[in-house]
Amino acid sequence: MTELQSKELEVLKEVIKVIEKYNLRYFAIGGTCIGAIRHHGFIPWDDDIDIAMPREDYELFRTKLYKELPTKFQKLDYDNSESNYFLFVKIHDSTTTFVENYAKDSPDRYTGAFIDIMAFDGLPLKNSKRIVRRSQKLLKLNGKIRKTPIGYRKQKPFKAMVKSVVSFFFKYNHFSTKWCNMLKKYPFDNSEKVYLSCRHEKSALAKGKKVVFPYSYFADYASVDFEDIKIRVPIKYDEYLTDDFGDYMQLPPEEKRNSGHDAFICDMNTPCIHYAELRKKGKI
């Protein structure tokens, strides 16, 4: 296990303590689920942890229960970061720094070693495709009014001007709030299908992934080994992983064994606020 993976595992352990204390539900998804089943821990070349929670549990954790984490573990989401257009939560170790290249010009998105927490939403029996389409439109609009990164105006003056005009009329979290309130209407447990709503459908489909799954995959959980702990995976993890990844037990070619995360800064010994302040001053 790398130093980064070790720090991320620490974050996960603390998050699980809070989740289990309040009998909330979660599932390892994506590469974390593959790692748990295929490697009984991290995929060796991976460097992140993804879990998902039913919307009701997710919102309770995101808005209130995260405060029960030890002080050094902090939250980054679409309500406390004006430039963050991702509609999921990062819980990170603020005594470390792990910043990906996409966020290098947005100091308010600087984090330490983190885990991602996403929401699964229910879908109604009727008009589910319409709900997904509307959700996807709100995802796009949310990205258009987020705070402009450092230096962006010099590179894209017209787009920056349009964004500043739109931002004058809408608060930065206007569309993310509207998106969230819409999806809360459809309870997870009353649905035949569930929706990983933070995924952009177009980019997901381009990668061969899905945004909608049968509820039965997540109706319960199985407990499996992950490094030195047990974590929860969907009860029908084989069906879920096959649906989303194909033959997930087959190792990819060596040239494709990478995390897909391009790090701008990876420093497990320095608080992320240090680098955020340097970036604000133009020193990095």
Mean pLDDT of the chain: 92
Report pLDDT digits (tens) over 130-179: 999 999 999 998 988 887 677 655 556 666 666 666 666 788 899 999 99
Please give the Cα distance from 218 to 54 (Å, whole number).
9
User: Considering just the CA atoms, what is the radius of gyration of the chain in Å?
Assistant: 19
Q: Residue 103 pLDDT > 90, yes or no? A: yes
Is residue 22 within 8 Å of 60, Cβ to Cβ? yes
What is the arithmetic mean of pLDDT over 63-79?
Answer: 97
Q: Where are the domains of the chain?
A: 3-280
Is the pLDDT reported for residue 61 higher than 70?
A: yes
- pLDDT tens profile 183-212: 999 999 999 999 999 999 888 877 778 999
Q: Is the alpha carbon torsion for 31, 34, 40, 44 positive or negative?
A: negative
| Token pair for 203 | 């980019």
pLDDT band at 67 (very low <50, low <70, confident <90, very high): very high
% residues pLDDT > 70 (the chain): 93
**Single-letter amino acid code for the residue at 87:** L
pTM value? 0.93
